[in-house]
Amino acid sequence: MQRQVAVILNGLAALLLCAATSAALPAATIAIRQPAAPVEFGQLHQQLREARHNGQWDQYYRAALRLQALLPDAPNAMLELARAQAKRGLRAEAIAILERYANLGQGGDLLALSPDFELLRTAKGWDAVQRRLEANRAAVDRGRDLLALQDPNLLTEDVDFDSQTGRYFFTSVRQHLIQSMDASGRSLTFASSPEHWPMLALKIDSRHRRLCATEVALPGFQGVSDSDAGRSAVICYHIDTGAVIFRIESPQPAALGDMALLRNGDLIVSDGAHGRIYRVDVAHGKIKLIDARHFISPQTPAVDPAGRYVYVPDYVRGIGRIDLNTGRVQWLRSHGRHALTGIDGLYLYRRTLLVVQNGTIPQRVVALELDSSRLGIKNESIIEQSTPSLGTPTHGVVIGRHFDYIVNSGWDFIDDRGVANPGVEATAPRLRRFDFR
């Protein structure tokens, strides 16, 4: 699921930990008992905001320490801690934290532009950190162009592939529809949102000839009424006829933005705005809550081949693995070398997690090899970053020995209401392909 619209559109601007501009998650809308991750995150975020506003940097430091404990190895949590140390005049400590930040592959000129790091610019190690950050932005392009969508106004979010017909299917957030496309690039409208809401997640069950998608009434988004805001639903269609098999409305409020398919045809669906994970019983048309405590902003789940474990990327916390038999959640270890936050799309190919990160600096598409325990990252290989055509990538699909992923989705062309930014000419999204060896 994509970003931009405050808490409900769970992504880039909404949940990045920039205490100067971000708002706390409203605890009043989270009907789950403490200590739940969304509640703790909201409380710590509020403490950071208040301490910053009052210039109480010792208090800011203590809140930042607790935030890092909640979000270990999260780049943005490291920045908060470095900011606290810089403002407290502890330059060597701040530089050491920024070195850890650079070790996660982060780049950009955020530090050089922020007045909070003014005291560090003459500190020992500052220039070396800046060189590391610049090097981390180097362009990498191991993909190749596959298909170009024709309409730049689609705001394409998700993609899947029907192996029986050889057609791709895409969801459109701005035009509230699902579009199909064949290998030659010929496109057709498959279905429109029954409630005329943005369409986000998409998953195809080729064996049972079902296509399931979500429609989400994003608050404040163009075309969404105030009375509908906060509602969402899972819709299943017959993929050959387009007939609606069922539509399940979610518990309110919810933003069912991403999902994965289980072997039996059930769906795992994440609510990125409220930190909840659901299971949809497709055979009986029922939705059941399976986790409401561990995740802050869950995104696209990925199911292991045996069907017991589901890997769920949390946009701000990392990657959690849910045991569907016991409900236990374990967090993947990055060993201080891999950024596991800012992930919008997550997919599993053998022992490799393919991630689309539009909440890191730079945005990128990465392959993360799991270790033998499948709970730690062994190696990282960048597929694409810092290319002129990447734009904002969103989701992808594994097809045999290929990973096809959406680039230039259009999220960077619009504001939080889904309205085109003035003076910006949108260009059409594309599908790119990475070939496994």
Give the CATH number of the domain where residue 396 resides.
2.120.10.30
Asked, for residue 7, whether it belongs to a domain, the answer is no
Q: Does 301 share its domain with 181?
A: yes
Cβ neighbours for 434, distance < 8 A, ≥ 6 positions apart? 142, 143, 144, 354, 365, 367, 383, 384, 402, 403, 404, 405
Asked, for residue 4, whether it belongs to a domain, the answer is no
Of 71, 105, 135, the residue at which a domain comes to its end is: 135
Of 135, 170, 197, the residue at which a domain comes to its end is: 135
Residue indicated by tokens 């290998």? 183
Q: Does 360 share its domain with 400?
A: yes
The confidence score (pLDDT) of residue 185 equals 87
Q: Does 164 share its domain with 103?
A: no
Q: Does 168 share its domain with 31?
A: no
pTM exceeding the 0.75 threshold for the entire prediction? yes
Q: Does 245 share its domain with 337?
A: yes
Q: Does 97 share its domain with 155?
A: no
Asked, for residue 1, whether it belongs to a domain, the answer is no
The confidence score (pLDDT) of residue 25 equals 33
Asked, for residue 5, whether it belongs to a domain, the answer is no
Beta strands 140-141; 396-399: pairing state: unpaired
Residue (of 19, 35, 70) closest to 318 by Cα position:
70
Asked, for residue 3, whether it belongs to a domain, the answer is no
Of 74, 100, 135, the residue at which a domain comes to its end is: 135
Cβ neighbours for 304, distance < 8 A, ≥ 6 positions apart? 310, 311, 348, 374
In tens digits, the chain (437 residues) has pLDDT values of 544 333 333 333 333 333 333 333 333 333 434 469 999 999 999 999 999 999 999 999 999 999 999 999 999 999 999 999 999 999 999 999 999 999 999 997 767 678 999 999 999 999 999 999 999 999 999 999 999 998 988 999 999 999 999 999 999 999 999 999 998 889 999 999 999 999 999 999 999 999 999 999 999 998 899 999 999 999 999 999 999 999 999 987 999 999 999 999 999 999 999 999 999 999 898 999 999 999 999 999 999 999 999 999 999 999 999 999 999 999 999 999 999 999 999 999 999 999 999 999 999 999 999 999 999 999 999 999 999 999 999 999 999 999 999 999 999 989 988 898 988 888 999 999 999 98
C-alpha distances (whole Å) from 259 to each of 10, 115, 396 are 14, 40, 12
Q: Does 79 share its domain with 188?
A: no
3-state secondary structure the chain: CCCCCCCCCCCHHHHCCCCCCCCCCCHHHCCCCCCCHHHHHHHHHHHHHHHHHHCCHHHHHHHHHHHHHHCCCCHHHHHHHHHHHHHCCCHHHHHHHHHHHHHCCCCCCHHHHCHHHHHHHHCCCHHHHHHHHHHCCCCEECCEEEEECCCCCCCEEEEEEECCCCEEEEEECCCCEEEEECCCCCEEEEEECCCCCCEEEEEEECCCCEEEEEEECCCCCCCCCCCCCCCEEEEEEECCCCCEEEEEECCCCCCEEEEEECCCCCEEEEECCCCEEEEEECCCCEEEEEECCCCCCECCCEECCCCCEEEEEECCCEEEEEECCCCCEEECECCCCCCCCCEEEEEEECCEEEEEECCCCCCEEEEEEECCCCCEEEEEEEEEECCCCCCCCCCEEEECCEEEEEECCCHHHECCCCCECCCCCCCCCEEEEEECC
Q: Does 222 share its domain with 243?
A: yes
Q: Does 307 share its domain with 257?
A: yes
**What is the count of structural domains for the chain?**
2
Label residues 207-246 b or e (16+ Cβ within 10 Å = b): eeebbbbbbbbbbebebbeeebbbbbbbbbbebeeeeebb
Q: Does 149 share its domain with 282?
A: yes
C-alpha distances (whole Å) from 1 to each of 122, 225, 435 are 41, 20, 25
Q: Does 130 share its domain with 148?
A: no
The confidence score (pLDDT) of residue 9 equals 34
Q: Does 108 share its domain with 203?
A: no
Residue type, 82: A
Asked, for residue 192, whether it belongs to a domain, the answer is yes
What is the CATH number for 45? 1.25.40
- Supply the range of the domain harboring residue 296: 140-435
Asked, for residue 6, whether it belongs to a domain, the answer is no
The confidence score (pLDDT) of residue 7 equals 37
